[in-house]
Amino acid sequence: MAIVSGIFAQNYAVTNYTTSNSSIASNDILSIKVATNGDVWFATNGSGVSRLNGTTWTTFTTSQGLVGNTVKDIDIDASGNVWFATSAGLSKYNGSTFTNYTTAQGLASNDLRSVFVDVAGNIWAGTAGAGVCKYNGVSWTTYNTTDGLAQNFVLATTQDSLGNLWFATANGVSKFTGSVWTTYTSSNGLIANGDEVQSAMTDRDGNVWFGSKPGFGIGGGLSMYNGSTWSTYNLSNGLASNDVRGMDCDAKNRLWFSTYLNGASQYKNSTFTTYSTSQGLISATQQCVDVAPDGYVWIGTTGGASRIATIIFQNYDVIHNACGASFNGDITLFAGTISSMLYYSFDNGVTYQSANFMGGLSSGSYDIWVTDSSMFVQGPTIDVLDIPAGDAFPFDSTDICLGDSIQLNPDVSFSNFIWDPDSIVSSGTASNPFIFPSVSQWIAIDYIDSNACDINDFIYLNVIPSPVFNVDISNDSVFSVDGTFTWYQWFWYGDTIPGATNQTYTATQPGIYSVCVSNSLGCSTWSGVIHYQNTGIGETENQTHVYICNGVLYYDLPESNCFISLYATDGRLITSFSVDDQNGIAPIDVRNNQVVLVHIEGCKTNCWNKMYFAK
């Protein structure tokens, strides 16, 4: 288990490991080394070594065979053997067992401060006061001040590109060619008051770097030798602290320095950048640093270990193959890095490119990797989909009754509709117009779907004729129609007769009757007017009677010279006119299938009637 402290400025990420959130043996980390197989080894101050294998922690102490529990340094040879320099001797771990080396096997001292594996496979163990001991796999050889070593307290070792060994001691550094010794101190190259050298490395350009401890609290910092001249760096140049305990170099030749007071410094292009607790690290009191083969930067502190991911994958945009296209897919990747250029792979790391965009993609899955040439980060698998053009209408044809109108209700996310022919729609550019065809026909619709596809669609409008029927009258008052219809409703003066829903109806009072029927396709039609005990359409009763059918107003009034007004139910005047006679007919222009209010006004008459007008 680990706690991720955060993703900072979306450019890097820090993960911290402590005894409270992991099984690491101690928070006091003196050395870290990452093997090529991914195992991370942590040397602790008194608690042995801990190994992190993926998510599994294992701790080794003297109980498991380690020679001593205070482990000062770690290195790994070409065979994968892990070497531990302890205060009680040297241990080699081959993956299953420990082999220990002490003065009994040839070491000059059991109190070790460093261990280093050179390119030839020799093991160099730096002691606390007895020089440096070389093990060639068979025998031990010790080098000390008698041989030319600057001082017998050896804190770190590195090897330059020419094969020379450099030893960081408590009083300067010594270069050993294999036969000749050369010593450098602050008098001939090292930084002022920086003769106590406690860390060393060789960068990818062949420069040799040394980290010093300030002498009596002053001086110290970094010293670099390029093969001919020395350069020095300290707080005034941007270094986090002059007490440099550890150093390493990544594949991009970014240099990492762990300092004991103020965090880590990363050096690139003559600029130092500090990473400390403000940037998410567990502690500013740092004792070691190691850049793993996979590019992660591991820093050991007195408060635990921190891992820096120098790049992070952030997000991506994808454009799918839409509208029937085959190679229009696009992927744009977004990633952050601490300081260098990124490269992107869309084919699972087979090839890389500097552009974060890949276009002209076919539909399929793309495995993403991002690298800064030091660290490789696996991104997601991104699917470019084949998205067909949208269909606003989930049908190819629809039925409509003659004289009716219809709306096709397309997908509300679609736009830019054009209807053709526009003569049969309420608006040729509306998204959902009323359509009122008089004959069966195709209607063409052009529109833009939610993926910006321009689509041409066609719907067949099947116009169903209205039912045709006759009303049979028997015994003067019994009205009947064909029994093949699915719905019947009888009316008296346009008002619904409750319960009169059969194919026959027997009139019970004089007046004007009608019937509406529907067939199995849902199309309806009205009969003409049916007179019962009327003279023409008039009635003997002294009252107003009006009826509307097929664009004609039938009226029977108690007096002549009346004024008739038709209103919609919202109070809007539809039409008005005068009639001279008491009964008769008048053509009107009223939309089918609506309720209207009829106002009749005369010398003696002032009344309202509610009518339902159907075709």
CB 440 within 8 A of CB 397: no
DSSP secondary structure code for residue 296 in this structure = -
Claim to verify: residue 381 and residue 403 sit in the same structural domain:
no
pLDDT in tens, 84-130: 999 999 999 999 999 999 999 999 999 999 999 999 999 999 999 99
Residue 441 has pLDDT above 80, yes or no: yes
Q: Residue 542: its pLDDT value, please?
A: 52
Q: Does residue 591 form part of some domain?
A: yes
Claim to verify: residue 366 and residue 257 sit in the same structural domain:
no
CATH code, domain carrying 452 = 2.60.40.10
Q: Does residue 391 form part of some domain?
A: no
Residue 588 has pLDDT above 90, yes or no: no
Claim to verify: residue 236 and residue 150 sit in the same structural domain:
yes
pLDDT band at 612 (very low <50, low <70, confident <90, very high): low
Claim to verify: residue 117 and residue 244 sit in the same structural domain:
yes
Q: Does residue 472 form part of some domain?
A: no
Residue 589 has pLDDT above 80, yes or no: no
Q: Residue 536: its pLDDT value, please?
A: 37
pLDDT band at 298 (very low <50, low <70, confident <90, very high): very high
Q: Residue 161: its pLDDT value, please?
A: 96
Q: Residue 534: its pLDDT value, please?
A: 47
Extended beta strands in 476-551, E state: 478-480, 487-492, 495-496, 504-506, 511-518, 524-526, 530-532, 545-549
Claim to verify: residue 441 and residue 583 sit in the same structural domain:
no
Closest CA to 211 of 186, 245, 167: 245
CA distance readout (Å), 94 to 53, 115, 357, 466, 548? 15, 16, 46, 95, 105
Residue 7 has pLDDT above 60, yes or no: no
Q: Residue 115: its pLDDT value, please?
A: 99
Amino acid at 355: A
pLDDT band at 590 (very low <50, low <70, confident <90, very high): low
Residue 133 has pLDDT above 90, yes or no: yes
Residue 538 has pLDDT above 60, yes or no: no
Residues recorded for the chain: 615
The stretch 375-392 carries a mean pLDDT of: 90
Q: Residue 595: its pLDDT value, please?
A: 67
Q: Does residue 69 form part of some domain?
A: yes
pLDDT band at 54 (very low <50, low <70, confident <90, very high): very high
Closest CA to 26 of 70, 64, 85: 70
Claim to verify: residue 404 and residue 278 sit in the same structural domain:
no
pLDDT in tens, 165-180: 999 999 999 999 999 9
The stretch 425-429 carries a mean pLDDT of: 93
Q: Residue 76: its pLDDT value, please?
A: 99
Q: Residue 591: its pLDDT value, please?
A: 61
Q: Does residue 441 form part of some domain?
A: yes
Residue 379 has pLDDT above 70, yes or no: yes
CATH code, domain carrying 533 = 2.60.40.3080
Measured between its terminal Cα atoms, the distance across the chain in Å is 79
Picking from 157-166, 246-255, 596-605, which range would have the lowest pLDDT averaged per residue? 596-605
Q: Which domain holds residue 84?
A: 3-309
Claim to verify: residue 448 and residue 538 sit in the same structural domain:
no
Q: Residue 2: its pLDDT value, please?
A: 38
Q: Residue 402: its pLDDT value, please?
A: 86
Claim to verify: residue 187 and residue 86 sit in the same structural domain:
yes
Q: Residue 10: its pLDDT value, please?
A: 63
Claim to verify: residue 363 and residue 429 sit in the same structural domain:
no
Claim to verify: residue 148 and residue 260 sit in the same structural domain:
yes
Q: Does residue 392 form part of some domain?
A: no
Q: Residue 153: its pLDDT value, please?
A: 98
Residue 452 has pLDDT above 90, yes or no: no
SS3 33: strand
pLDDT in tens, 318-376: 998 888 778 889 999 999 998 778 999 999 999 999 999 999 999 999 999 999 888 99
Rounded CA separation 284/275 (Å): 8
Q: Residue 177: its pLDDT value, please?
A: 98
The stretch 301-330 carries a mean pLDDT of: 91
Q: Does residue 521 form part of some domain?
A: yes
Residue 239 has pLDDT above 50, yes or no: yes
Q: Which two tokens stand for residue 46?
A: 């008194």
Claim to verify: residue 454 and residue 510 sit in the same structural domain:
no
Residue 543 has pLDDT above 80, yes or no: no
Q: Residue 195: its pLDDT value, please?
A: 96
Claim to verify: residue 164 and residue 185 sit in the same structural domain:
yes
How many domains is the chain partitioned into structurally? 4
Out of 432, 464, 496, pick the residue that ends a domain.
Answer: 464
Mean pLDDT of the chain: 91
pLDDT band at 548 (very low <50, low <70, confident <90, very high): confident
Q: Does residue 40 form part of some domain?
A: yes
